[in-house]
Amino acid sequence: MEFDHRDTMSRYMERIQEGKSHLLGPSSTGKCIKQSAYQYLGIKPSRYDSKDKADLGSLLHLGWSALITAEFDPSEREPDVRINVPHLPRGGSADDVDWLNRIVTDLKSANARAWQRFIDRDGPYENYWDQAELYAFGLWATHGGNWTMRLVVINTETGERVEFTRAADPIRGETLAKDLSRRHDRLETARLLSTAGEDPLALVETFEREGNGPGRGFPCDWCPFIAQCWPEEADGLSAQAQTVVDNPDEVAAKAAEYMVASRAESEAKKVKYDAQAYLRGIEGVFGSYKITTTGGKPSPDEPDPDAMIDLLSMLGQTIPMRSGPVRSSYPRVTKVKGV
């Protein structure tokens, strides 16, 4: 009998999705309130993720599940564990629970560039822990004890993986759960408008944008509803600028943020490069800091444009030219005197 990997994956995903609905649960962490609202109300996305990318993510989880199932007794370590979380209307499915050592694992996949950022930062951003924190809170509420969270980040281009662990914090877990519960209440209000024959989107459009728009990374750049939330660039205005251009107070607020951040950036760079001068050439572990050296290697040979120009001129040849790239425009913010 021929092995149908897609059928196997579909049955696996159906099992993982069992019991899920539009209700918010641990997997809803990281989503903007508007994105959650559009999904909650069944709004058709403006774009869809690549099927291949979705398949790859599913296969990574399926492979991890098969590995844990083959190597461990379920009483010791178990994949795809359903966990109820206090305050949340829906539980979730943790990728891996080590019952003996009280470790809950959450798998994350990333392309090579994003994966390298995990390495360079020596750890994930704080919000990457949120889903595991909710699972750990649910496990603590049910089984008690001190739990450890583990994030396994898999490079989807090379198969490499890196792991990060830290102790779970039930207080933080409960805070996250209550925050999700409050968000769920807001979505329920919109849904009830729909059942009453009113337009729930009128309410959803008043919800705040929690991302920074297209081109600014997570969560907007990966959001399937980005076109519903952000306009396309037009008349020289970015998508973000179009959302504030008609409100002078909002424009002034962003100008103030820009100026404050520019000054802070300048000061931070000075501190950084001063410290860098004291550290260059030093390697080793000092207290809680590990210092290594990157770069410093010669670059590979590359064409010499000056030599080519000299050679062509000597041979009497016309030097080929091309238009230079159009540089991006940037705002310049200054204070108005006397204001």
- Using one digit for the tens of pLDDT, what is the confidence trace for 27-86? 878 788 888 888 877 777 776 655 556 566 667 778 888 888 999 999 999 999 999 999
Token representation of residue 337 = 């005197």
**Averaged pLDDT of the chain:** 82
Of 156, 215, 132, nearest in space to 223 by CA:
215
pLDDT reported for residue 256: 93
Taking residues 273-279, what's their average pLDDT?
Answer: 93
Out of 1.10.1740.10, 3.90.320.10, 3.40.50.2300, 3.10.180.10, the CATH code matching 5-193 is 3.90.320.10
For 118-150, write each residue's pLDDT tens digit.
Answer: 777 767 888 889 999 999 999 999 999 999 999
pLDDT reported for residue 176: 94
For 31-44, write each residue's pLDDT tens digit.
Answer: 888 888 888 777 77
As a whole-number percent, the residues of the chain with pLDDT over 70 amount to 89
pLDDT reported for residue 56: 62
